[in-house]
């Protein structure tokens, strides 16, 4: 029957493709494992990493009283920011 032969041909093509893709996948995996990646950081990145590590080591100094105060203010809806004060301080920092 034509339908049966077509289905058998498709099934045969699928098994051939699957077998070859498994072989190709194994080849790619062996090639990838043989190569090693290398990362080279710029001087700026190294400086940033050093500074970040220093800051992380200083993280034991946390002012929990201020954190708790502002968390409570925010949770209660009592914290407000004066936009003019913020804008003024931003301009002072820039100029």
Return the domain boundaries, the chain: 1-35, 62-95
Average pLDDT over residues 48-74: 86
Q: Is the pLDDT of residue 7 over 80?
A: no
Residue that is written with structure tokens 């003019």 in the block: 84
Residue 5 or residue 42, greater confidence:
42
Q: How far is CA 33 from the centre of its chain?
A: 24
Q: Which of 5-17 are b and which e, b meaning 16 or more Cβ less than 10 Å from the residue's Cβ?
A: eeeeeeeeeeeee
The answer to whether the CB of 73 falls within 8 A of the CB of 79 is yes
Instruction: Give the pLDDT of residue 90.
Output: 92
Instruction: Give the pLDDT of residue 62.
Output: 77
Give the Cα separation of 7 and 14 in Å (integer). 10
């Amino acid at each position: 029957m034509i339908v049966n032969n077509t289905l058998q041909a498709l099934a045969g093509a699928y098994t051939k493709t699957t077998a070859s893709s498994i072989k190709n996948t194994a080849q790619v995996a062996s090639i990838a494992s043989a190569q090693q990646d290398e990362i080279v950081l710029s001087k700026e990145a190294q400086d940033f990493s050093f500074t970040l590590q220093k800051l992380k080591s200083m993280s034991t100094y946390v002012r929990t009283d201020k954190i708790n105060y502002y968390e409570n203010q925010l949770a209660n809806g009592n914290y407000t920011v004066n936009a003019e004060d913020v804008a003024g301080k931003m301009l002072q920092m820039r100029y």
